[in-house]
Structure 1
Amino acid sequence: MSLDKKVLIVGGGLGGLTLANVLKHQGISYKVFERDSSPDNRNQGFSLSVHLCLPALKLGMDPIKYATLGEKAAVDRDHPRHANACLVDGNTGKRLFTFPSEGGTDVFRVNRERFRNWLLEDIDVEWNKRIDHYKVLDNKEGVQVIFTDGTSEHGSVLVGADGVHSQTYRQLIGPNEFDKTTTVHPVKILNCSYWIDSIFRREIEETLSFSHMMGSASSSEEAKHSICLFVSLLDHDITKKEKPYEMLWSVSCMDEDEPTFETDQERLKQAKDWIQKSGFKGLLNRLVLETPEDVKVTPLQVTERLPHPKMDTLRGDPVVLIGDSIHKMSQFKGVGANHAILDACLLGAELTQVHKGEKTLDEAIDIYYKEMLPRGRKAVEESHQAVEIMHASRAQINGFISAMANAKE
């Protein structure tokens, strides 16, 4: 079958919007349905690095729009390609490794909200649309999506880009199997951002990193687990004369006995306690301990999902999945959004060939899954391992660092 009707994309996150951009550039009819009532209905998260997906994104979307990515979405739009990361020894405050990203390298550190808004530009989205279920049409000549408000839409193919709670995936493999593949990691995470002055910012740049950094610290050599701290530039606003830099910190703890608090003040105290008790030193310690008392501190739950084994052979229906809906991973390796965007670009390329009559939809979906499923499984597993490594004992972390050092030589 050809794409004689619209491609229906359920989910207006990074993956769904990327696919819409690719399809639009190729002249393929599409429509995005997003459950949020508006683009600014909820917080879109903090910041992320886009890297492994960029060659495919550059190839798949409008080159004129792609050329504006840095100036519109980077955390520091004056220096959009400054995305170097570093690993820090939390107990000494010293930088261990820098992972450079300079010059023409395809890497951007982006503000997630601005990045999504950039993807949203000139894209057809219908807001406040939550999928209830779908029906495959007779002879599999398309699909009907039924929404919770009673409306429906017909299309050639349904793309489930509806995230970790994907109703599309739940229906496709069944609710029991869906629940089996979805797990919650015990790690506890607290996120916060606030604005700092240029002097403090310059110290961070010169001592640690221009962009983002991660470190671990533990109370002693014998401690079973370490506390992990991730820090990143989130925004640079020259109109804020006294404090023009917004910094994000994200502190995480593996202790299941740690309580969960309801107020920002209690969460901030808990985060500061974690930093102090684990022995963080230097600028990372200072950034957290100097956090103002009136900030918002957001708890974060890490949900993980490996693609179900059924997906290796489940074919035939005009329904396909991308991003977190099928491979949800922890953020500790920094690749989740990259894989969602890469999924969208590769699926978009396959659908373009269907649109041109070069292959069938069944062939396109099969080729897409044969590449995506092993890649997605590997990314979920490696991201899970990254959580364990960054919260391991001091000796285990030192062993990991030594292995990295040997690999760099």
Structure 2
Amino acid sequence: MAAKIGDTSAKSGLHVLIAGAGVVGLTIAQGCKRNDIPFTIFERDEDRASRPQGWAVTLHWSLNSLRRTISPELAETISEASVDPSLQKDKGNFLFLNAETGEVRYKVPPSKERFRLNRLRLLNHLSTGLDIQWSKSIVSYEDLPDGNIKVHFRDGSSATGSMLVGCDGNNSKVRQRLIMDEQKSNLTTLPIKCTGVVRHFTPDEGVEPRSLDPLLFMGLQPKTSNYLWYSVQDVYTESDGRLSFDALVMISWPVKDEEKDAIPPTKRLCVANMKERAKGFYGTFKRIVDGIPDDSESVTSLTLADFPVLDWESNHNVTLAGDAAHAMTMYRGEGANHGILDAALLVDQLAEVQNGELSQAAAIEAYEKEMKVRGAEAVLKSRQACLEGHCWELINDDCPLIGGRWPPATA
């Protein structure tokens, strides 16, 4: 007989099944733990080392939401996940530069506080004290006659709870089952492609980019529409006390010709494509790209896509959070921040259910009412930033690529 995990019944009350142990799923789990809400968290990966965990993440207006949701002990030490611990008090500017001349065109208004966090360290930090069920890839779920929900996994096991939260990313299995319309539940492909490489900078190589900003900056070549993104991923102290670091170097470009602008088929050719597109860059930016090893393995190429939130019919025992609910492009750096706010607001509702002040159905409905409106606006604003960010003439004070990153009213 297949194993059953996290079984509960209608009589035992709230039991939250969390699909996905990424930043959002872990924040929900920590919030449940803090509020004594029964939960089980599942992750499709075998462990954290089974695949790369993604690029570093910038948290700004969501920091207060994160801190009030997780335990005080975890909140006090969140800076331990910083890519550069020496910059814990960094408030930061998002510099936007002319990638042809090196001139600063805009300084995006700074946040009151900004943390650039190593994603793996952040995940490990938020995993503290949690019993994550690994290698649990969702195949389907079903509603049970008693009002509970049963989730089936690829390994033949199952789990039963009072509700399921899909935090399983851009291509969410939970979303596909919840919406039940493949065309509507799929991502919307955008006419932008990108390649990102994490490369190492020696102390000498790092002087130029760090003089612009110690953490991140972006730029556009006006004539070619090639966009550059640079962001530090991890910092190391060398034996002489100087700093070396790993940084993400990403180039994205609009698709004007399907053949010429296609993503190359190999990592080596992707790196060559980046260097070709950087030929029109200013010296510093060109050197940042040219320094990528031709045989680099840390190459990720993407056709950009997003998911404008649909107003699906509210389900009394299934909901979505984070990228599963509102996948967005990275051009405003707000995806993780909205996901963390989702987690905080959902936990607020679940705490009322646990205290007997609200029904589960009402809690999900209230959570989704706010999240769908906020998420849809954020997705479309990020899409606009992405598209306009590749057209020099459209980048102005009204462009969301440049606009301030202000917290939503509910944050």
TM-score > 0.5, shorter chain as reference: yes
Alpha-carbon distance between aligned partners in 2 of 1:233 and 1:404, rounded to the nearest angstrom = 20
Distance in 1, matches of 2:189 and 2:216, equals 26
Aligned to 2:293: 292
Structure 2 equivalent of residue 75 of structure 1: 83
Q: What is the number of residues matched between the two proteins?
A: 389
Per the TM alignment, residue 162 of structure 1 is displaced from its structure 2 partner at its CA by: 1.2
TM-aligned CA deviation for residue 245 of structure 1: 1.3
**2:210 paired with 1:209:** no
**In the alignment, does 2:161 pair up with 1:155?**
yes
Contact 1:83 1:210 (8 Å CA) reproduced:
no
| Cα deviation code 1:274-333 (max 9, x no counterpart) | 111xx2103222111122223222212322111223x2xx23431111111121111111
Q: Deviation string for 1:39-88 (max 9, x for gaps)?
A: 111111111211122111111111111111112x1110222332522111
- Per the alignment, do residues 239 and 198 of structure 1 end up closer, same or farther by CA in structure 2, a change over 3 Å counting? closer
Matched, 1:280 2:286: no
Structure 1 segment 107-146 matched on structure 2, within 5 A: 107-140=114-147, 142-146=148-152
Match of 1:396 among 389, 394, 397: 394
Partner of 2:307 in structure 1?
A: 305
> Could you tell me which amino acid in structure 2 is paired with residue 397 of structure 1?
I
- Structure 1 residue 176: Cα displacement: 3.0
Shift of the 137–42 alpha-carbon distance from structure 1 to 2, 3 Å rule, reads same
Structure-1 residue corresponding to 2:16:
7
Could you tell me how far apart the structure 2 residues matched to 1:171 and 1:9 are? Answer: 15
Q: Which residue of 1 aligns with 2:337?
A: 338
Alignment-derived partner of residue 191 in structure 1? 196
Separation in 2 of the partners of 1:37 and 1:110? 23
Which residue of 42, 53, 64 maps to 1:55? 64
* 2:178 alignment partner AA: L
Distance change >3 Å, CA 3–CA 322, structure 1 → 2: farther
Matches within 5 A, 1:167-186: 167-179=173-185, 181-186=186-191
CA displacement 1:230-254 (0-9 Å, x = unmatched) = 0011111114768721121110011
**In 2, Cα distance between the equivalents of 1:339 and 1:163?**
13
Q: Is the 8 A contact 1:131 1:146 kept in 2?
A: yes
Deviation at 1:272, TM superposition (A): 0.6
Under a length normalisation based on structure 2, what TM-score does the superposition of the two structures give?
A: 0.88
Q: Does the 8 A contact of 1:90 with 1:215 survive in 2?
A: yes
Q: CA deviation at 1:259?
A: 3.1
Structure 2 runs not aligned, ≥5 long: 1-9, 405-411
- Partners of 2:398 and 2:366 in 1: CA distance: 36
> What SS class does the counterpart of residue 182 from structure 2 fall into?
helix
Partner of 1:226: 225
CA shift digits 1:158-215 (9 cap, x unpaired): 1111112212111111133544x52122211111121112233233222x11211010
Taking a change above 3 Å as real, the CA distance of residues 173 and 404 of structure 1, as seen in their structure-2 partners, is closer
Change (3 A) 1:403 1:9: closer
Aligned amino acid, residue 9 of structure 1: I
Partner of 2:4: none
Distance (whole Å) between structure 1 residues aligned to residue 54 and residue 216 of structure 2: 16
State how far apart, in whole Å, the 2-side matches of 1:356 and 1:285 are. Answer: 58
For the residues of structure 2 that align with 1:82 and 1:110, how far apart are their CA atoms? Answer: 12
Shift of 1:99: 4.0
- 1:106 partnered with 2:113: yes
Q: Tell me if the contact between 2:67 and 2:75 (Cα under 8 Å) persists in the aligned partners.
A: yes
Task: Tell me if structure 2 keeps the 8 A contact 1:83–1:109.
Answer: no
Relative to structure 1, the CA distance from residue 70 to residue 380 in structure 2 (aligned partners, 3 Å threshold; closer, same or farther) is same
Contact 2:98 2:222 in 1 (8 A): no
Alignment RMSD: 2.4
Give identity over the alignment, percent.
31
Q: CA 1:401–1:28 in 2, change beyond 3 Å: closer, same or farther? A: closer
- Cα gap change, 1:106/1:218 in structure 2, threshold over 3 Å: closer, same or farther? closer
1:261 aligned partner, one-letter code: P
Aligned partner of residue 376 in structure 1, secondary structure: helix
Q: Please give the alpha-carbon distance, in whole angstroms, between the structure 1 residues aligned to 2:249 and 2:26.
A: 27
1:262 offset after TM fit, Å? 2.6
